[in-house]
Structure formats: C-alpha cells, structure tokens
Chains A and B, each alone.
Chain A
C-alpha cells in the first residue's frame, strides 16, 4: 500500500497551488459580491490544461484520472479559491468531460472533448427537477423520437452554469416511469448544444457561490439530432452513476479544500489575536474542535482517494459508490465543523465579509444539501453497504 503521491501528482498539486495563489480570497470576495463569473481564473486554469486532466491525449487532454483532478481541485480550493477551485472544473470537466470520456460515442468525443479540454466550451448537466431532486428517478422531462430527431420537453432546476454553457448533458425519460419495468429503466442521456431558442434559462438568486449562476431551465420542444443520444437508450441511469459518483467525490474534496483554507486563516489569526493575556490560539476551547475537524477531514480524504482509485481502475459504480458516499458523509460534517470553528476564532470579525470566513461558511453549507443530502448518503450506506432494508419508498 503506497500512500505517497507520484512525482506527477505532486507537480499537479504544486501547479494548482501556484495558480490559486494568484487568485486569493479577496478576488473571490469581489466576484461573489458582484455576482460575476471568474473569467480570469477560468482562463488561467484552462490555459494550464486543468479542464483536460481526465480527457485522453488523443482528444487534447493529458489523460490522467479522477484522482489527479481531485488533487488539483483540493489545492486550488485550499490555497485561496475556496469552492471556486472546485466549481468550474466540476460542471465542465466532470459533468461534461468525464461523462463523455466514459460513455460518449466516438462522434461525441471528437465533437466535444477537444473543446472542453481547452476551456473553449463550458458545460453543464440538466438532471434535477422541481419534483425530482433527491428522488432523481422521478424525473419527468421526456425525450420522444420524431422521425430522426429527439424532441425534449420538461423543466429542470438548479442547473449550474446553464447560463453560459455551450454544451449540456440532459437527463430525460425515454420511457415514462409508469411504463418502466423498474424505476431505473427508461432514463437516457443526451448531449445538446447551447444556446438554443427552445431552451429557456432563468438564474435563481442563491445563498453563495455567486460567481456561477444556478438556473431553472425549461425545454420547449427542443429538437436534437438522433446521434445526440448517449447509447444505450433507456439504460442511462447506470451511465449517469459514473458522473454522480465523481460529483460526490468532488464535493468531498470541496469540504477538505475549503476547510483547509478556513483553518489555515483561523490558525494564523489565532496566533496573533490576544483578548486576554495570551493569544487565543493557545486556548484548548478553540484548539480541540479544530484539531478534531481537521483530523476527520484527513481521514475522509483518504477514503475519497480510495473511491477515486477504484473509479480510475474501472471498479463498478456500486463499489465506487460505497466509498464515495462514506467519504462525503464524514467530510461534510467535519467540513461544517471546521468552518464553524474557524469563524468562531475570528469572533465578531468572522461576520465581516472582509475576513472571508463568512463566505466559506456559506459555501460549505451547500454540500450538506448537494449533490445529495446527508440523509440520503446515510440511506445509501445503510442499504448498500450494510444491507439493511430500504427505509423509504
């Protein structure tokens, strides 16, 4: 068992760290406040090839795996970018790039991957719906064949990056739930080019991560060519799990990276700040919860790397899912605790935007809700790891 990163993985980590240092917390503070896309950051990581980490060399990427992508994400987040270090890579490279690498046809790969790898094409994924978030299989968006075209109708919600994306992974039902022999049957994946008049996009005002818009999307007779389907038809749910597991791992990495950032700033401040005779960092009341959260996150990180290793070595989605869910479950609780206590270290200043920790607090609170709630991750572990009866219908 070798826990050491390879020379190349260390270099990827260092490259990410160097970029992150040029986009410090004040950069993200401004972007979040103004609700502006972090164009300069996006261009910098695109030029350095970060959108092509998981894309094979023949399609313009560098042909590494999810492990290397998570390493890059963590260092970007931990060295100043917070969730910004994860977000764009997630919605373009994981939702777009990785889905196509794993399951796209040769036509899809040639069409999309070089543009994703270069950062020329932003991507997004249209999965969740107003009545199908946690209960993903209840999606109602339909794809019906009309001649040699697919016609898509339905509404999606929380589609991050849809306002800018030039490519979209659409999850739709080709067989309605009522007619499906089992709930997982009848879901198909499509790749669509945007913008398109049949796709209406409406950003949702939200709590944080305002350097990217999360949107309501409606499809009104969106017509797609036959070859926009990622085959096989009706079996898309199992393909999608190879996107949703990495999404979960990316959010574990977000917990680790954002917490590392918040903790490092809090530790630095705690060593200087005196309220009574000694620096507040010398008080165990602050030390213990931060030490505990940090240690738990380090454990979650190892579990996340195990999940990534399994994914890169083509383990089944079920096997990957076990470890991805357990890592996320632990990382989220520890991450929330880490940022909570980092904020406590700053006292009243923790409430001021200028100290940034309030933004990381808003950011980390997303990951107890998405990509799945903590409760659904617990359900997954109880049912699929421990073999207990399914607790909901």
Chain B
C-alpha cells in the first residue's frame, strides 16, 4: 500500500477526527509536569518508585519546544492551541503554557508514569475534540520512554513522525524533518490530522512574559475526570545509578604509565 492510501485509510478509520482549518489550525500540545533530573532523586522504600518529596517539578524540557511550536503555528496561520496535562499537580505547567500563549488547557487529574496509561487517558480526554495536529515532546526528562506520542498516535489512528527538528504546514499536509542517527535527516510528509514529537532545539522557546501571566488568569483549565486504565507493564525494581569511582594513581611516571596501560587493557580498549 502506498503511503497516501495508507494515510487515507487511517482517516477513514477515525470517524471522530475532523479536520477543521476554517480559522487556522487547531493544535493540541501535550505537556508533562516532570521531575527535574537535576533534583535529588531517591528510590522509594518499596523499591519500585521514586520519592516525590524533595523533587523539583517543572514543564518537561522537550515539551517547552512543543508548546512553542504550537504557539508559532497559531501566530503564523491562526487557530487555537490547547495544552493537555496529566497529573493531579500539573497546574503549574499548564499555567506556564497558558502564559506562553496557549488558549486553554485540559487537565486530567490522574497520577501515573506509565506511558500506555498516559496515552490512554489523553486519548479519552481529547477524542471528541476536533484537531489538526498534536505536538508532543520527543521524550520525557524523567521516565525517558519516548512513548506517549507514538502510543497516542496509534490509539487515535493518526500518522506520526518522531524527533522532528523542523516543521512546515503546507495546506492539508505537514512536512516534517526528522533527526536520524549520525546527523542524517529525513523529510516526511504527513496528512493532517497527524501527530509529531519534537526534538529539543526545533525552536527557541520564548520566556514567559508578565503580560502572558496576567492573560493566563482568565484562560480556562478544564478538568476531565477519568479512571486510571489498566497498565500493561509491571515495574519490578528501580535501581539507583552505580556510584562512579575515581582513583588517584600514585608512583613515579613509569609506574603510573604501567597502571594506565593495565586499566585500559582491562576495559578492552587496547
């Protein structure tokens, strides 16, 4: 099957998805209120979670680029930007996106780090909405799955592209440049509606402005109450990273050189 036919077949299978670009594009952006990996991370007493106390939370770094991209599209061709967050305490991130320029927010007050559950919750919350494009960050700075965007695209039968480094809207299509390993790039064309996940550096996210903060107070954050769907993954254990040891080599130059050779050989490097 050719790509175009495949995309058309996807559209046929998605009766709830309606393309509506009369007033520009309707863009949904997924924004995670994520733990800052620089904060002090401790494994919880059950060994399967991370202690949330003491963690600093903020918008997931990749999602800053996602919201910026969504706002830029709206500024260029008009439309609406809706930001979606999952978690009981994700308000700060949603408000930040509203202050940056999103028009409204949807909050799903359910706590989970399971990518499948997150995607399922977002699907249920937005499936009755009209949209042209969903933008997610390439990955999350805490759990590192790079899954929510792709899973959601699958659940909504949407074409998708990951690790996008530049984006162009061309009529009913999105032309996206993807980042491949080794510095290669791939240019892909997606029929709207579609989903992309953006790589950091796709743009330069704006600072939150004081006027934006003021405007944000009148913008809607709608709560969508949903049950936590079942998880397909059972976490067995979370491990802290191994402690890296440093060794100070002593002796005269020839002794130190001999020890270096020994270490390098033991690592299989020579």
Q: What residues of chain A have their CB less than 8 Å away from a CB belonging to chain B?
A: 7-8, 11-12, 14-15, 18-19, 44, 47-50, 52-53, 57, 61-64, 68, 72
Main secondary structure of the interface of A (DSSP, over half): helix
Residues of A within 8 A of B217 (CB): 7-8
- 8 Å CB contact of B207 from A48, A53, A57: A48
B209 lies within 8 A of chain A by Cβ: yes
**B214 touching A48, Cβ below 8 Å:** no
Smallest CB-CB separation from A68: which chain B residue?
B210
Chain A neighbourhood of B213, CB < 8 A: 8, 11-12, 15, 62
| Per-residue contact bits, chain B 201-235, to A (CB 8 Å; 1 contact, 0 not) | 00000111111111011000000000000000000
- A88 CB → nearest B CB, Å: 15
B32 at the binding interface (Cβ < 8 Å): no
CB–CB B95/A47 < 8 A: no
Determine if A49 and B96 form an interchain contact, defined as CB atoms under 8 angstroms apart: no
Given contact pairs A8-B217, A11-B99, A18 touches B207 in the complex (Cβ within 8 A): yes
Report which of B95, B209, B216 forms a contact with A49, defined as CB distance below 8 A.
B209
**In whole angstroms, how far apart are the Cα atoms of A63 and B217 in the complex?**
14
Q: How large is the interface on B (under 10, 10 to 19, 20 to 34, 35 or more residues)?
A: 10 to 19
Contact of A47 among B99, B207, B216 (CB under 8 A): B207
Which single residue of chain A is at the shortest CB-CB distance from B91?
A7
- CB of A15 within 8 A of CB of B214, answer no
A62 touches B207 (CB 8 A): no
Contact digits for B224-264, partner A, Cβ 8 Å, 1 yes 0 no: 00000000000000000000000000000000000000000
Contact partners of A8 in chain B: CB under 8 A: 213-214, 217
* Most chain A CB inside 10 Å of its own CB: which residue of B95, B96, B211, B217: B211
Q: Please, which residues of chain B bring their CB within 8 A of the CB of A14?
A: 96, 208
How far, in Å, is A210 (CB) from chain B's closest CB?
26
List residues of B (62-121) whose CB comes within 8 Å of A's CBs: 95-96, 99
Is the CB–CB distance between B210 and A52 below 8 Å?
yes
Interface contact B214-A19, CB-CB below 8 Å:
no
Contact: B211 with A15, CB < 8 Å? no
Partner of B214 from A47, A50, A64 at Cβ < 8 Å: A64
**Contact call A48/B95, Cβ cutoff below 8 A:** no
The list of the 6 closest CB pairs from A to B, nearest first, reads A49-B210, A15-B208, A48-B207, A49-B209, A48-B209, A49-B211
Known contacts A8-B217, A11-B99; decide if A47 and B209 are in contact (CB<8 Å). yes
Residues of A contacting B211 in the complex (Cβ-Cβ under 8 angstroms) = 49, 52, 61-62
What distance in Å separates the Cβ of A244 from its nearest Cβ neighbour in chain B?
24
- B99: chain A residues at CB < 8 Å are 11, 15
Query: In the complex the two chains form, what is the Cα distance from A47 to B210 in whole Å?
Result: 9
